[in-house]
A and B are shown apart, each in its own frame.
Chain A
């Protein structure tokens, strides 16, 4: 039963008291003059897509739908989603970033208040979507009263085994070789890593360049080699949940970060850098090692930018300038942040008709099929490609290359639409636009890390499922803010800006909120 909603500062927007009437009438299905059902959509990945191409028209004609596209701004995505929900002006199909820290205040809240439309209970009509759901990690945690209220967007529908994120280091292998600190296969012990940074610092200092930088949201990355879990809730040796930031392991990592700063290895602008600045420092040859989210798209963007920056550098070997560094911590293990095999979710406005939701599910199910996937990657048979001997052969007239001999980006609206259910890692191998060398390289690293994991040489940092998706009252209200405040205090300590001693740092976590949340978690989990 939908009811008037009292938001008790529940959202990350900290809206305070806000009454939202969730009792609006259902949206009546509207049709174009040629009988197509109109569907409004808003998705982060539409940022560079305006619609209106032949491929999206084909999908529209096939399913008798007419789409309209809007997008979000990355930096304001969450605010824009919650704003539209609170204002009851969300699109028919929209896109939200759901993670364990905002789960209670977003997904669960929307589901309980029926602000989003649940998926049909019987999904057998959409077997490809059903397969995605069955393989989604922590899918049970996403169910409210036994129902799913959105579609988790799969990272890779051909391989659901993802358990760690590619948040790691790339480095200038060419510089390491030149200055005699390169290690075979890019494998570095902790001591070798530190030696490399020192050498880079010495060589780069005369040019006002620096050894190390972290992507802004990932700073400081060094505690990853020490801490137990990525964020708030670690466990002591009895299994009881404690504040991660005050554990000996985290503090050791924090002090190590401070050492890295005082050694002059980090770029001095790290503290004040806006999003993207450290990445730009790397591709403009200002930094030797960069910690980043090295997803395929980020890796390729960096690679292309590096290539562009160095277009006039003689004998520049791009692959030696963007090598993945494999660093073992002082415990002789690699360390990577854990992840789920999905990222963000597609939701349906609670007011849309069953008919509209089902038609959209028809579209997404088709886009996951072999035929739909092929269409979203290659386009039209006969124009974009031919099938010869059972194999797809793309037509050069329809896949032009630029003056460097590279395939030019191609606007296929169906591929954007497919992003509503898949991030697209499953089509990388078949896509002519993919940098196959890069995919192979990243896949090889992934395989190597999976082997390391099997051999107990890799630590995957992840909070337990029982605490991640726990939605007790105080945790739900405070967890996001606790994490954000903790990171601010981390920065203050690392930069000795207002927090100068470890005792002072720890005292920031010795407060009622932390205690109450931890007590609540331990009670709920039986510790």
Chain B
């Protein structure tokens, strides 16, 4: 399916013009100019973009041929990293508490042959062969809300068995199965989100319990030679939760934690007004005061990224199928990168992965880039707009690249305009992306002075009227220009529009 090119051309052709590359000008007074100077390196080695690709809770629900479709879409997405979460309940069985309260003598066995394990291993095999980094973790302690059968909800991850199960599982996956793609371990999901007793397994958690769990896991990993698997801390949600956990980590858990990880689901206004960037910069600088390694040998990453406006009580995102969601997530990405975030995993890849379980129904969490569910409507099975922008960004902002911040004039117009550039270390690949989040069109002249190879520039213009899909259903450029990306590019960018310029087809 090809989106209406005619509309795109009417909106843009004639406004896109070329001229010789301007040489470096450090002071910019023209509000239209966007300069990326090679000195303005924001990040020396970017970690890469990716997606939550958790183990599927019920692969029986996929459409026929669904898994092939999932892999095909993952091929095209170009993810550099994924976050893969599982439940220990799926694998732990034959639990015996010996009839006493002593947790040290409890025994259990593992079953890595069921459909959950099969799916988890399929994902890891894919990542291993495709050089995709994996943050692997378990959602929460064993047990259900109605039956705390292991008696883990009081101590949560500080329960000594948590570290034991984690080490056994990683020993199986990394040491025995050889999944060295697992770079990080997530010691439970969003420990700061307590929920309410009766509705959340996490209601009893505290930073202290979580930190003790991390210490236990680190020790257990080290004892079985898993020093290379770092621990994400704290995988917490929201700015406030991250503030509590990440600042505490930066003071007292630096030895055990290998990554400052956050989940950020932000309201539209925070993205549109650039408050997201301000929030990250503020938190980042406060962490860095305690941990000078930040940005060098330890990074800050967003492990769940999404927008909260549109979220329903059944944990679906009603805006997920709109072009505006795609544009805002692009804006989100650019602000995060500009603020120093080293990698992002979008929440999430496929509607079929996760479900909401209530008393009377099981409903898919519709947050994906498509749905491989048999029960999904034909429309939901199509790739959603934000798959395409995510794919562009994953391919443009490659793992290992340099990230460059723009120099722009101080002007009201630029309060709602964001842009970030990237260049590979060898200069063979690069480009830039921009978003106009304002209510009016803006005209911009882009200058990328860091040398990038190639004599063609691929231009993608993304809003609800302009993006183009090829016959295979994946995004194609609006324009291919026979000029190096180091030329000046002038473009009128409509409101709520993302643009990507690249020296290679993405």
Contact = CB atoms under 8 A, between A and B. Distances in A.
Interface centre among A50, A52, A301 (most CB of B within 10 A): A52
A383 interface: yes
A275 B194 CA distance: 23
Contacts of A337: none
A395 interface: yes
Nearest to B237: A50
B10 interface: no
B359 interface: yes
B238 A380 contact: no
A276 B309 CA distance: 26
Contacts of A379: 269
Contacts of A106: none
A76 B196 contact: yes
Interface residues of B, number: 40
A384 B269 CA distance: 9
B313 A48 contact: yes
Contacts of B312: 409
Interface string B134-146: 0000000000000
B459 to A, nearest CB: 24
A76 B145 CA distance: 12
A400 B313 contact: no
B195 A71 contact: yes
Interface in B217-272: 237-240, 267-270, 272
A2 interface: no
Contact of A54 (B195, B240, B269, B324): B269
A312 B237 CA distance: 37
A400 B197 contact: no
Contacts of A71: 195-196
Interface in B348-364: 358-361
B275 A54 contact: yes
A274 B324 CA distance: 40
Contact of B359 (A76, A274, A401): A274
Contacts of B112: none
Given A54-B270, A397-B495, A398-B269, A408 B309 contact: yes
A235 interface: no
Interface residues on A, range: 35 or more
A114 interface: no
B319 A408 contact: yes
B318 interface: yes
B360 A411 contact: no
Interface in A261-284: 274-277, 279-280
A311 interface: yes
B196 A80 contact: yes
Given A73-B197, A75-B198, A383-B272, A311 B318 contact: no
A398 B313 CA distance: 20
B197 A410 contact: no
Contacts of A68: 240
Interface in A287-333: 301, 311-312
Interface string A69-80: 011111110001
A400 B322 contact: yes
A51 interface: yes
A53 B197 contact: no
Interface string B308-319: 111111000011
Contacts of B318: 402, 406, 408-409
B interface, over-half SS = loop
A238 interface: no
A403 interface: yes
A272 B268 CA distance: 44
Interface string A43-66: 000011011111100000000000
B371 to A, nearest CB: 13
Interface string A389-417: 00000010110111100101111000000
B495 A50 contact: no
A209 to B, nearest CB: 16
B309 A410 contact: yes
Nearest to B240: A52
Contacts of A74: 199
A48 B193 CA distance: 11
A203 B495 CA distance: 55
A397 B497 CA distance: 12
Nearest to B267: A53
B377 A311 contact: yes
- Of the candidates B238, B309, B360, the one having the most CB atoms from chain A within 10 angstroms of its own CB is B360
Contacts of B361: 280
Interface in B456-506: 495-496
B172 interface: no
A76 B197 contact: yes
Interface in A329-380: 379-380
A27 B199 CA distance: 29
Given A51-B240, A76-B196, A311-B377, A397 B439 contact: yes
Given A53-B308, A54-B269, A54-B273, A402 B321 contact: yes
Contacts of B309: 400, 408-411
Interface string B185-208: 000000001111111100000000
Contacts of A54: 267, 269-270, 273, 275
B321 A80 contact: no
Contacts of A276: 358-360
B308 A411 contact: yes
Contact of B310 (A70, A279, A395, A400): A400
A277 B495 CA distance: 46
Contact of B360 (A72, A80, A279, A409): A279
Contacts of A402: 310, 318-319, 321-322
Contacts of A55: 267, 269
B5 to A, nearest CB: 22
Contacts of B325: 400
Contacts of A384: 269
A276 B314 CA distance: 14
B176 to A, nearest CB: 39
Given A47-B199, A71-B195, A75-B198, A408 B360 contact: no
B198 A70 contact: no
A400 B196 contact: no
A410 B319 CA distance: 11
A269 B319 CA distance: 37
Interface in A8-39: none
A311 B378 CA distance: 12
B311 A383 contact: no
B270 A73 contact: no
Given A73-B196, A73-B199, A280-B361, A52 B275 contact: no
> What 9 A-B pairs have minimum CB-CB distances, sorted nearest first?
A280-B360, A73-B198, A408-B310, A73-B196, A402-B318, A73-B199, A403-B321, A76-B198, A276-B359
Interface of A: 47-48, 50-55, 68, 70-76, 80, 274-277, 279-280, 301, 311-312, 379-380, 383-384, 395, 397-398, 400-403, 406, 408-411
18 contacts: A50-B237, A52-B240, A53-B267, A70-B196, A73-B196, A73-B199, A276-B358, A280-B360, A280-B361, A380-B269, A383-B272, A397-B272, A397-B324, A397-B496, A400-B310, A402-B318, A408-B309, A411-B311
Given A280-B361, A400-B268, 14 more contacts: A48-B311, A48-B313, A52-B238, A70-B196, A71-B195, A73-B198, A280-B360, A397-B496, A398-B269, A400-B324, A401-B322, A402-B321, A403-B379, A409-B309
